[in-house]
Amino acid sequence: MVIKKLTRACNLTPQTVTLFVPKSPPACYAVDAGVRSNNMVTDAIQFEEWETPFLGGDLQIIDLHWGDGSFSCRTKEGKEFKLEENPLFKNVELQAHILDLSDGCLYRVDYSQVNGFRLLDEHGLLELWEARDKQQVKLKSTFKVKNHMWSKESPLTFFHGNSDEWSHVVSTDNECLEVVCENTPSIVKIDQVTSG
């Protein structure tokens, strides 16, 4: 894991943030009749490690923001409604704030070129947990997945959303965020939260 520190202006005040950059290629696991492989091509559910600074943490998804805040529509009667772009979300299609309860670090995860996303409770992903248990793959709190039910229900979302048809997952005890995007999300440590 490589950690880069940089200083930039944020909300009109200088702030030091930590940008996370993975240093090694991820391991890939295919779940199919008990076979574990780094290069298996299969229709079975496949998992791949997604290295993040909160990979093994006890996580909480604090919030999720979709879009740049701009909006416009016209009613049948001809009324037009417009909201201007919010500068806090410029060039960000999807943004999540993740708190790592194990060390109190608050992270901002920015997703770009998003083609689909879902936030649901753990129960909505039973298919993944069953495949994980069948294969005895040790998934951490962040991973990538493909060939699961959502990718089969919405094949164009995955085909056009990621050249290898992977989605990025953040898993907590309460909910999971799954995002189909072309690029690896950018992760920035933005605060250290204290308990008490």
pLDDT band at 13 (very low <50, low <70, confident <90, very high): very low
Handedness of CA 66, 67, 68, 71 (dihedral sign): negative
What is this structure's pTM?
0.71
pLDDT in tens, 187-196: 999 999 887 7
Tell me if residue 4 falls in helix, strand or coil.
strand
The token pair at 14 is 């200088």
Task: Please tell me the distance from the alpha carbon of residue 61 to that of residue 108, in angstroms, as a whole number.
Answer: 10
User: Which residue range is the domain that position 185 belongs to?
Assistant: 2-192
Give the integer Cα–Cα distance in Å for 92 and 66: 8
Determine the length of the chain: 196
Bridging pattern class, strands 71-74 and 59-66: unpaired
| pLDDT value at residue 58 | 92
| H, E, C per residue of 48-84 | EECCCCCCCCCEEEEEEEECCCCEEEECCCCCEEEEC
pLDDT top residue among 35 and 65: 65
27-36, 86-95, 100-109, 164-173 — which is least confidently predicted? 27-36
Residue 1: beta bridge partners? none
The whole-angstrom separation of Cα 145 and Cα 176 is: 13
Question: For the chain, what is the domain count?
Answer: 1
In this structure, what token pair is assigned to residue 169? 């997952």
pLDDT band at 16 (very low <50, low <70, confident <90, very high): very low
Q: What DSSP state is assigned to residue 125?
A: G
Q: What is the largest CA-CA distance in the chain?
A: 60
Q: If pLDDT is split at 50, 70 and 90, which confidence band does 167 have?
A: very high
Structure confidence by residue, pLDDT tens digits, 170-188: 999 889 999 999 889 999 9
Phi, psi of 68, rounded to the nearest 5 degrees: -95, 5
Burial (CB count <10 Å: 0-12, 13-18, 19+), residue 101:
middle
